[in-house]
Each structure stands twice: as C-alpha cells, then as structure tokens.
Homo-oligomer: A and B are copies of this chain.
C-alpha cells in the first residue's frame, strides 16, 4: 500500500504516537490523590491475534475469487491480524475487548479497492453473494461505527478505503480540492500545504482518520470556529450505493430545486460508500498564534468563550476547561515547566488558591488566531481584553503552544492508564449558550449519582469547545479505577446514565463523535416518525437489501420499517 503507516492494532493512533511517560506518571499521581488506588491493570497485547483466537472466516473460495477478480489478489485479506485491525473502533469498550483478546464480532475479510469502479464492483458482489459491507476509513470511531456487524447476511467484509488516498485535483483559482475519501489527515494537509492551502480540519484523531470519515460522521476539527466542519466544506461527492453511483457537484450557491445530497452527511455508510470528495480549501495562514489564560470560574470561562466566538475577528481554536480538567492539565505538567511556574511564580499561588477556595475555578482557556499579521494582532488584542475583563490571568504563549504541540497526543494517555489500572472515556454533547451551564451541571450530577449507585470513585472534567455564534460543544473526560472484567459493563452503565441526563438537559446526543451503534437508540428517540420514514425511504431506494453498514446510525429503525408505527 502506498506509504500508509499501519495503525496500532490494539489501541489508539499511530505506532510512533505516545503520551509522555513523565506526564502520564503525574496524571496517575493526581488520580491516586483524588480517587484512591487504581484497579486491575489491562496489559498491552504483545502478540498479534492468532488463527486459533478468531472465528474462521465465513468467506468461501468462490467469494474470495470473486473479490480478487475485482481488486486483485493483494486487495483481499483473511489474515487474523488484518481482520482484527479492521473490525474495531477506538472506544474504551473496543480497547478493552482488544486488550483482553476478545475478537468478536469480526469481519470475515478485508477488501481494499483502489478506485471508485472497484468499489462499485465490490458493492455489486456484496449484493450478489449476500455479504454485508462495513466501510472503513482508518478505524478511529469511538461509537461503534465500524463494528463488523453482518446484519442478516451470510458474512461481513470490512471495505477499507486505505488505497483511495490521492489528491485528484486542486483548482487554485476556485479554491477547490478533490480527494479520494480515504486520505488521512496528515496526507491531506501535506498535499494541500505544498500548494499553499489548508482544509482547516484537525480533529483529535487527525493522524488516523480520513476526509471521508469526517464527512460521513459530521466530525468537527479543533479549529471549527474558523473553518466550520468538514461536511460544511463539501461541494461535491461521489457515493457508491447498491443502486448506483450518485455524484453531486455544486461548487457555488444555486437555487436549483431540492437536493438529495443533504442525506449523506452523517449517514455513516448506511446508504453507500463515499469515495471522492470536493472541498473548499483556504490559503495557509501567514501566521498562527496560540495563547492561554486562567479565568476565575466556569461562568466567566463560558462568557469569555461566547464573547470571543462572536467577536469581529474569529479565533480558530477556542476552548475552556472547567476546574477539574484544568487541575488535571496542570497536574500533568512538570512542576519545573515554564508555563505553570511563570503563572504561579508571578502570583505566588495566591490567585489560584483563591479561585479554588471561591468554588469552581481556576479554568484554563486556550485560543488561537490565524491569518495575516493584522488579523492575528487584532484577535490577540480581543483575547487579552476579554481575559482581563473576566478577571483572568494570562498564562502566556508557552501554555498555548504546549496545547498546540500536544493537540493530538492526549488520547494516547488512555493506553498508559489502562496498563496501570485506570480507565478513561469521553462523552460529548452540544447545546446553545443558554443551556450550556445547566448541561454541565446535569452531566456532573449524573456522573456523581452513577458513581454512588455503582460504588465507583469517578473524576469528571469538562471543557467547552468548538464554539459557534449560537452555542458550543461540551466535552467530558471521565476517569475511574479499572473495574477489572466488569470495566466495560460499569462504563456502559455510566455512559447510559450520562447520556440520559444530557438529552434531558437539552444537549445533543453527539456534537462530533457520531452515532455508530452506541448512540442510535437516543438519536432514533429524538426523531419524528415522519423523518425516520423519509430516511427509511432513502435507505430502501439506495440499499434495499441492507448491505451497507447494517445497524449503524439509524439503520436499526430503518430496517424495522418504523414508518408503519
């Protein structure tokens, strides 16, 4: 395959990625201080999956010959490691399964086409041979979006887009780039950067997620305040469905009647496979500056984020952590490291102590501005004024730069924690500004109650991020001692309670993680029967045999034909 680094088969990200061990040690120290001792550790797997550990493939020689006739011998694999690698996302539950070598459900094979016509061939074959297809970009789903469910079919294939990773065209005058959908974040940005452009999409999974994945899950990047989300930048697409190929191309505003293209963002593979995407790109900014500040409390943090997200110059990244997350962030730093010492030194810890005593502060705010020097200068001025008005303290350039440097590193911390007897998972939602304060209270209360009722010590830290004029995302990191073999079940119970509380408080089921299988019950509950019925019609039209990613997102209700209710 063309130069693509394989992801770690049992955990987050790329093999060279890891969370700094010193910082991890300090985080563990913080957790011990706050929650007491750790639980049973989950060791990192050493050996790849062995043939005797996995179910035998249900693909027969006829299937394999037929698949090879479409993609060549090198494009089909039933190797246990390849099957495992392409059957799990990266949720806590996925990782617990992988670390405990519990390899189910498992794709019966992996097929890796290298062109849209090859994808058409595979989809045709799947219909003819009763095979389900799970489109697979890079496997970073944290909601079960790539789970290898066969649905009602004889077997299930992971349809990997790894080889669909090219820049097809860059029209510099029109600022439009066409990519194959399986291109990874770093490859996409490097192809654009060399021509002076950027897409501005930097989800935390950037290193091992794809443009196509961002679009079909409605993912958001860290710089969404300036660049919007990937789906919002799409002006053209090629979708391969079991009923044929749908192409959309509308690079400029049109008033040309209703469109079906709106059905695809968020569809998570249930209507077909996105193979090519045309996106609006932007020139690489002349400069980018990150800054951080400590603010007195959560209310002032929320107000400051809202003010900056609706100001004359928009930031790119803008986020504020609550006290628990701020403490965790500060704890991770070396006591001798620059930013903390500088802030704390200057004020002799008194300010921070006062904030702690006063209630729910301090809170760490991180912001970036990008563009020409004048734009960035004006943005930084707005930031300084807003932080001062809020009674905050500048944490200087270094703390902001530190966040930038580590922006894709944090998820690797889970690996160290699991190996040391701690489990961690994230929950995210979004809401309008007027609901966000209450949403966090509700979420925290739900975590506390879950902890009490399950007899588990839990720490939860939140941040507000991805702000837009009407609201933002609220993102919670939940940490607790490993519960040994009960870990997945305990976490699922916490997650269930927290999601119920989020929905009751007017938050969305997911701001940017997607639906997969984990969120579908809540998403379905929130939809009108008539809307489900419209989506069911679309599903029947495009994928009448339910070959495509069966059971994902709204797939369940669609398959049951809820419109008849």
Provide the bound-state CA to CA distance between A508 and B283, in Å.
26
Choose one: B175, B252, B533; the contact of A431 (CB below 8 Å).
B252
Contact flags (1/0) for A460-484 with B, using CB distance below 8 Å?
0000001011111100000000000
Q: With a CB–CB cut-off of 8 A, which chain B residues contact A533?
A: 541
Given A244-B530, A270-B258, A515-B256, A280-B538 contact (CB < 8 Å): no
Q: Which of A218, A258, A512 has the most CB of B within 10 A?
A: A258
Q: Is the Cβ of B470 less than 8 Å from the Cβ of A252?
A: yes
Taking the closest CB of chain B, its distance from the CB of A386, in whole angstroms, is: 15
Closest to A218 in B: B255
Q: Is A85 on the interface with B (CB-CB < 8 A)?
A: no
A535 touches B260 (CB 8 A): yes
Whether, in the assembled complex, A39 has its beta carbon less than 8 Å from a beta carbon of chain B, the answer is: no
B253 in contact with A229 (CB, 8 Å): yes
List A residues 538-564 near B (Cβ within 8 Å). Answer: 538, 540-542, 553-554, 563
Q: Quick check: A432 and B254 within 8 Å, CB to CB? A: no
The answer to whether B266 and A256 touch across the interface, beta carbons within 8 angstroms, is yes
Known: A220-B255, A255-B219, A511-B255. A171 touches B432 (CB 8 A): yes
Is the pair B267, A257 in contact by a Cβ cutoff of 8 Å? yes
Contact between chains at A432 and B267 (CB < 8 Å): no
> Across the two chains, which residue of chain B brings its CB closest to A430?
B252
> How close is A520's CB to chain B, nearest CB, in angstroms?
8
A119 to chain B, nearest CB (A): 16
| Residues of the B chain whose Cβ atoms lie less than 8 Å from the Cβ of A375 | 312
Copies of this protein, total: 2
Contact B262–A268 (Cβ < 8 Å): no
Are B514 and A255 in touch, CB under 8 angstroms? yes
Q: Is A246 an interface residue (CB 8 A)?
A: yes
Chain B residues with CB under 8 Å of A514's CB are 255, 257
Residue from A248, A253, A433 with most neighbouring chain B CB atoms (10 Å): A253
When the two chains form their complex, are residues B535 and A258 in contact, meaning their CB atoms are under 8 A apart? yes
| B residues less than 8 Å from A301 (CB atoms) | none
Distance of A90 from chain B, by nearest CB (Å): 16
A210 to chain B minimum Cβ distance, whole angstroms, is 15
Contact yes or no, A534 B530, CB < 8 A: no
Asked if A510 is at the interface (CB within 8 A of a chain B CB), the reply is yes
User: Nearest residue in B to A554 (C-beta to C-beta)?
Assistant: B257
User: In the assembled complex, which residues on chain B have CB atoms less than 8 Å from the CB atom of A282?
Assistant: 469
| Residue of A509, A533, A540 with highest tally of chain B CB at under 10 A | A533
Residues of B within 8 A of A271 (CB): 258
A173 within 8 A of B: yes
CB-CB contacts below 8 Å: A262-295 with B: 262-268, 270-271, 280, 282-283
Which of the residues B260, B306, B512, B529 comes within 8 Å of A263, measured between beta carbons? B260
Interface size on A, residues (CB 8 A): 90
Interchain CB contact under 8 A, A434 and B255: no
Instruction: Pick from B254, B372, B378, B538: contact of A537, CB below 8 A.
Output: B538
Residues of B contacting A523 in the complex (Cβ-Cβ under 8 angstroms): 256-257
A76 on the B face (CB < 8 A): no
Shortest beta-carbon distance, A256 to chain B, in Å? 5
Residue A241 interfacial (CB < 8 Å) = yes
Interchain CB contact under 8 A, B280 and A253: no
User: In the complex, which residues of chain B have a beta carbon less than 8 angstroms from the beta carbon of A430?
Assistant: 252-254
Q: In chain A between 72 and 110, which residues have their CB closer than 8 angstroms to a CB of chain B?
A: none
Kindly provide the distance from the CB of A306 to the nearest chain B CB, expressed in whole angstroms.
Answer: 8
Q: What chain B residues lie within 8 Å of A511 (beta carbons)?
A: 252-255
Encode A313-347 as 1/0 by CB contact (under 8 A) with B.
00000000000000000000000000000000000
Which of B218, B254, B310, B529 is the one whose CB lies under 8 Å from A253? B218
Q: Output the least CB separation between A80 and chain B (Å).
A: 32
In the assembled complex, which residues on chain B have CB atoms less than 8 Å from the CB atom of A224?
A: 253
A171, A374, A471, A534 pick with most chain B CB within 10 angstroms:
A534
Verify A235–B470 contact, CB threshold 8 A.
Answer: yes
A483 to B476, CA, bound (A): 70
Residues of B within 8 A of A529 (CB): 244
Q: Which of chain B's residues have a CB closer than 8 A to the CB of A220?
A: 253, 255
Kindly state the separation between the CA atoms of A372 and B310 in the bound complex, as whole angstroms.
13
Known contacts A219-B255, A258-B554, A375-B312; A241 and B512 CB within 8 A of each other: no
B251 with A258: CB separation less than 8 A: no
A528–B246 CB distance below 8 A: yes
Note all chain B residues with C-beta closer than 8 A to A541: 530, 533-534, 537, 563
A306 neighbours in B (Cβ, 8 Å): 173
Q: Assuming A255-B220, A430-B254, A511-B254, is B530 touching A246 (CB within 8 A)?
A: yes
21 chain-A/chain-B pairs, Cβ below 8 angstroms: A171-B432, A229-B253, A235-B470, A244-B529, A250-B508, A251-B471, A252-B432, A252-B472, A252-B508, A252-B511, A255-B266, A257-B268, A257-B520, A258-B554, A260-B263, A260-B538, A261-B262, A263-B534, A283-B310, A374-B378, A537-B540
